[in-house]
Amino acid sequence: AQSVTQLGSHVSVSEGALVLLRCNYSSSVPPYLFWYVQYPNQGLQLLLKYTTGATLVKGINGFEAEFKKSETSFHLTKPSAHMSDAAEYFCAVSARQAGTALIFGKGTTLSVSS
Amino acid sequence: DGGITQSPKYLFRKEGQNVTLSCEQNLNHDAMYWYRQDPGQGLRLIYYSQIVNDFQKGDIAEGYSVSREKKESFPLTVTSAQKNPTAFYLCASSTTGDNSPLHFGNGTRLTVT
């Protein structure tokens, strides 16, 4: 079975500071991993995904994430936060079976102050 | 533009009434999903469907029902048996490739009083 744990329900940073959102996963098979962003009262938008190959994955809006198998982690980072990055972020894992649903973490709310 | 349409955006019902949430997609995706979102609990899977006329229960299917009569449509009915129906409901779709990301609609916020 798959599961996802996001460490920290709230993260606050200053504009221009490093953003680090933590995600650890549990999976009985090599996982596919995803990060999504959600703005208030909207659906989720895909930021990036890891399937196979290069373990450092670049996504939209300057975000990237690194798959570390030894640490079962897939942390999301951005070198310099912008006010528009304030949102809720979800990490998700796939069971690697076609058409099956993603398993989501509980989310981390990112606040950015000026 | 292709996408997923959920309607209405806000829905209010009295306790004891069934209510149906609409989800339509024009992405030609085979798979569709319903998730429920509550503050601090992330997204929890209610039902999903990989093909027309077939669907599977997710983790919290009790008190909900779905149908998949057309590829484009996957309506969710919240029945009076659902003990705590007030929530934000998200519909999603994907291709059936095993690394396919989900595409989400903008959600329906249901309030039951």
**Span A36-69, pLDDT tens digits:** 999 988 899 999 999 888 899 999 999 999 999 9
Give me the pLDDT at residue A5, please.
Answer: 96
Q: Give the model confidence (pLDDT) of B36-71 as tens digits.
A: 999 888 999 999 999 999 999 999 999 999 999 999
Is B89 at the interface with chain A, CB within 8 A?
Answer: no
Whether chain A has a CB inside 8 Å of the CB on B96: the answer is yes
* Gap between the Cα atoms of B65 and B6, Å rounded: 17
Residue type, B1: D
Please, are residues B99 and A100 in contact by the beta-carbon 8 Å criterion? no
Judging contacts by C-beta atoms under 8 Å, the chain A residues touching residue B90 are 43-44
Judge: B99–A32 Cβ closer than 8 Å, yes or no: yes
Q: Do A49 and B101 touch (CB under 8 A)?
A: yes
pLDDT of B93 strictly over 70: yes
Work out the minimum CA distance from A30 to partner chain B, whole angstroms: 12
Q: Which amino acid is at A24?
A: N
Q: What is the pLDDT of residues B13-42, one digit of tens each?
A: 999 999 999 999 999 999 999 999 998 889
Binning pLDDT at 50, 70 and 90, where does residue A76 land?
A: very high
Closest Cα in chain B to A40: B106
Nearest to A106 among B42, B92, B106 (CB): B42
Contact A98 B102 (CB under 8 A): no
Query: Residue A69 and residue B87: Cα distance in Å, rounded?
Result: 35
Residue B69 DSSP class:
S
Which of helix, strand or coil describes residue A61?
helix
Measured between beta carbons, the chain B residues lying within 8 angstroms of A51 are 99
B102 touches chain A (CB under 8 A): yes
**How does DSSP assign A68-82, residue by residue?**
EGGGTEEEEEESS--
